[in-house]
Structure 1
């Protein structure tokens, strides 16, 4: 079952307390390295403005702050107040005064007008209408700015029992087989100019990076995939 917004809020409201602890398991699988690689691919410079879509408890914030420097700006957006509360604790503990956290739906939340970069980690694959979010972000990316997306996908060559096991393990985070058809990289690579695309974890995860080179290339197919 694909979750509605209210259901997503409940799921991540429950998991906020142990979410960071659960990330340790994923870091052992190399996810932390993939996060860093995704953010490195944005080519952010000091003074840049970047948005973290579905920022959760703020796992990306330290890396983003380091790259934009004290004169830059980091905007994190998430649907879950409980997850954002954890992120705000992280911001306060580190004294980051150039980080702004916003609670809202990625489809309607305010975005900075001129973005030097955007990143989404394990967020867009939970949105059936992700193409709408991608288009909104693409409209605000300056020429040369990049969008990096890191997420889970259904592996093409895994046996069914192993896929079912992976879904069971990730069920506390709202994952179900119904999300297999959600492929955000299609919208990103159709609306922007592809830079790189890589699968890892034996095809169970992906990282795509694309760049804005001018007016976005709107297509009808990205709305239906």
Structure 2
């Protein structure tokens, strides 16, 4: 499968409007996820690792971050970030969230020193990039422990007074490959309890967090 981010990866952090727009969603998502010190957090579609510093602030050196992404070039940038910051508690795996075997990825995480199931998981601006985002969400759930905390941060067209910015939002999503009409956070609302809903940037950024529903008895 071709890596659409191969050429874009070295410039992603500079060109993605991270600080003026999208950092707010990452911060809100990490805060709503509320991992605890020592937790293992799964970052689905981790890209260049822009969530890592926010997660490190909470899980600390006794916790662990597991980043999954299908783009080798984006993972290269993530590894550089990890080396530069001296983080020794990050596991990075190349995998496509829409096709991966949860059991297989869990085994790979365990072989790298982690646990097969994570205490928390998040996907920021990632699910709307995936044609089969529902399948990716189900695999994300499967890689989480019972009652794990989950968060989804993704995009929709701005609302209310900010509707005038819809053409700009559509262009940004189109250039980035996101489906602005996917609204993947609805899956979290369906499959989790204690759901917290927030938004930012005129509703363009949608943040949802909740607890995985208990698995039914065998």
Q: TM-score, normalised by structure 2?
A: 0.83
- Superposed displacement of residue 159, structure 1: 9.5
Unaligned runs of 5+ in 2: 107-114
Query: Residue 195 of structure 1 corresponds to which residue in structure 2?
Result: 195
- Of 109-118 and 129-138, deviating more is 109-118
In structure 1, C-alpha distance between the alignment counterparts of 2:11 and 2:118, rounded to whole Å:
32
Pair 1:27-2:19 in alignment: yes
CA gap 1:142/1:42 in 2 versus in 1, 3 angstroms: same
- Please give the residue correspondences for 1:1-20 in structure 2 after superposition, counting only pairs within 5 Å: 6=2, 9-10=3-4, 12-20=5-13
Whether the 8 Å CA contact 1:139–1:215 is kept in 2: the answer is: no
Pair 1:60-2:51 in alignment: yes
Whether the 8 Å CA contact 1:198–1:208 is kept in 2: the answer is: yes
Whether the 8 Å CA contact 1:15–1:173 is kept in 2: the answer is: no
Unaligned runs of 5+ in 1: 217-225
CA gap 1:66/1:209 in 2 versus in 1, 3 angstroms: same
Query: Residue 207 of structure 2 corresponds to which residue in structure 1?
Result: 207
- Of 62-71 and 150-159, deviating more is 150-159
SS of match in other structure, 1:13: coil
- Superposed displacement of residue 130, structure 1: 1.4
Q: TM-score, normalised by structure 1?
A: 0.80
Provide the aligned C-alpha RMSD in A: 2.4
SS of match in other structure, 2:47: coil
Instruction: Count residues in correspondence.
Output: 204
- Superposed displacement of residue 146, structure 1: 1.0
SS of match in other structure, 2:152: strand
TM-superposition CA deviations, 1:45-89 (whole Å, max 9, x none): 222111101111110111212322222111001111111111100
In structure 2, C-alpha distance between the alignment counterparts of 1:114 and 1:102, rounded to whole Å:
15
